Amino acid sequence: MSDTSRVTLEKITALCKRRGFVYQSADLYGGLNGVYDFGHLGSLMKNNIRQQWKHAITQVDGDIIFLDGAILGPQAVWQASGHIKNFHDPMVDCTSCKKRFRADDINIKKACPHCGNTAWTDVREFNLMFQTQLGAASNHSSTAYLRPETAQTIFSNFKNIFSTNRVKVPFGVAQIGKAFRNEITPKQFLFRMREFEQMELEWFCKPNQSDKYFEFWKQERFNFYTKIGVNPEKIRLRPHAQNELAHYSTQCVDVEYQFPFGWKELEGIADRGNYDLTQHAQEANKDLSQIDDETKERFIPHVIESSVGVDRLFLTLLFDAYCEEQLEKDTRVVLKLHKNIAPIKLAIFPLSKQLAEPTKQLFNEIKKHGYICTFDQTGSIGKRYRRNDEIGTPLCITYDFESQDDQCVTIRHRDTLQQERIAIDQIITYLYNYFSL
Ligand code: GAP
């Protein structure tokens, strides 16, 4: 029987470390708070997440243009975007134990959750951007910032993108890349990090189309999560109240997931109006308007944005997939990841080491077709199944003594535990059908 209720943050963190999905960055030196490195399985799974996102957004009616923008941005960009003025969180310190908190994370009318005293500083605003200097000589250096969202490289490149791609509104510009925020209290593992990755889509449209596309993208993005296997009962859309809106948006909904620590934002879908292009047009003194084909009037495109963190989605998918199942003889931990998200697609075992040679041949043949697979000949078959269940491998193939005579292998399915016998010369077709999008 499957039990998903026992998943905790501690179990996911331990599994990630044990199986090499994620490591604390600079672990050797005590770790860097809020910063993580992704190991073999983690980086493979992240790639799958990126691929699924790209696939989903490019299915819509309208062009999607990709951008891979720089991480460093000059002061002028962040001045125009409003991040220098507005991108901060309220911060408060406990004067007794010197711990620092986000003032909206705790109740400062109560005692410090760390030391139990009630001796708070005033609440101050703390800008979340990492600032740096470009250039070696201090008198020539200029201030730059690590981007806190990928979106601004899309807006500041709008003129380039528009003039080098044959596009007309509505169209989207998509970007996957790193973003950095000096979070006051990074926490809950990959949930709130200081260095993370975003997948952002800015959908440009005519001003009178923004309500229509806001609704469209809400639905589209919600559907995406169910398509990649997220339990629909654990996600919901939550509209923002007026006082929650970011400085750039006029309406916003969050796709929220029910984590063990509560319903939390997974993705934000925002109507940014023409805020960003107007701001950049003013700051750079450039015309970013377009001509309406029908009315021949100039307008600044409006933007509907969808923004989700790769790492936060990664964490969500692990929570959602984690199960502890009571089997006849023991309990198995299994990650029931969607087959397109699972880092390793299949594991191939010789029943005995004597069968290693022909099994290796099959393994090499399957690899040639681009499937990420592993060859495992150590331990009992049961142990090999468990190792693969725990990392979410959807299929395990066993080459046994009969295989030499009947030229068939056994395929075992992770979730149902069902086994079937397939002819070796049919395996590639079988895998193609099984894994096709
Ligand atoms: N461009 C809009 C924007 O950046 P946001 O709500 O601040 O909006 C969008 O961030 C998404 O990026 C979030 O829904 C979350 O998935 C991810 N994200 C934001 N801050 C994060 C952090 N500190 N650690 C991990 N992911 C984060």
CA angle 87, 319, 432 (to 5 degrees): 110
| Residue range 130-161, pLDDT digits in tens | 999 998 766 656 999 999 999 999 999 999 99
| Residue range 381-407, pLDDT digits in tens | 999 999 999 999 999 999 999 999 999
Count other Cβ atoms within 10 Å, centred on residue 68.
9
Peptide bond into 170 cis (omega under 30): yes
Nearest-angstrom CA–CA distance, 77 and 286:
13
Gap from CA of 129 to ligand 1 centroid (Å): 13
DSSP assignment of 16-38, as one string?
A: HHHTTSEEETTGGGT--TT-EEE
List the residue whose alpha carbon is closest to atom 26 of ligand 1: 309
pTM: 0.95
- Structure tokens of 40? 């073999």
Q: What is the mean pLDDT of residues 204-225?
A: 97
List the residue whose alpha carbon is closest to atom 4 of ligand 1: 149
- 222 or 89: which leads in pLDDT: 222
Gap from CA of 184 to ligand 1 centroid (Å): 14
3-state DSSP assignment of residue 233: helix
Gap from CA of 242 to ligand 1 centroid (Å): 19
Tell me the domains of the chain and their CATH numbers.
Answer: 2-72+147-318 (3.30.930.10), 344-436 (3.40.50.800)
- How large is the greatest C-alpha to C-alpha distance in the chain, in angstroms? 79
Nearest-angstrom CA–CA distance, 397 and 387:
14
- Structure tokens of 367? 């690899």
Q: What is the pLDDT of residue 436?
A: 87
Q: What is the pLDDT of residue 314?
A: 98
| Residue range 331-351, pLDDT digits in tens | 999 999 999 999 999 999 999
List the residue whose alpha carbon is closest to atom 12 of ligand 1: 309
Residues with CB under 6 A from ligand 1: 149, 151, 181, 183, 192-193, 196, 198, 200, 265-268, 305, 307-309, 311-312
* DSSP label at residue 243: G
* DSSP label at residue 269: E
List the residue whose alpha carbon is closest to atom 22 of ligand 1: 192
Ligand 1, closest atom to CA 267?
Answer: 14
Residue among 183, 266, 307 to mutate when testing ligand 1 (max atoms within 8 A of CB): 307
Gap from CA of 71 to ligand 1 centroid (Å): 15
Gap from CA of 198 to ligand 1 centroid (Å): 7
Gap from CA of 309 to ligand 1 centroid (Å): 6
- Structure tokens of 352? 């005995």
Residue among 77, 197, 312 to mutate when testing ligand 1 (max atoms within 8 A of CB): 312
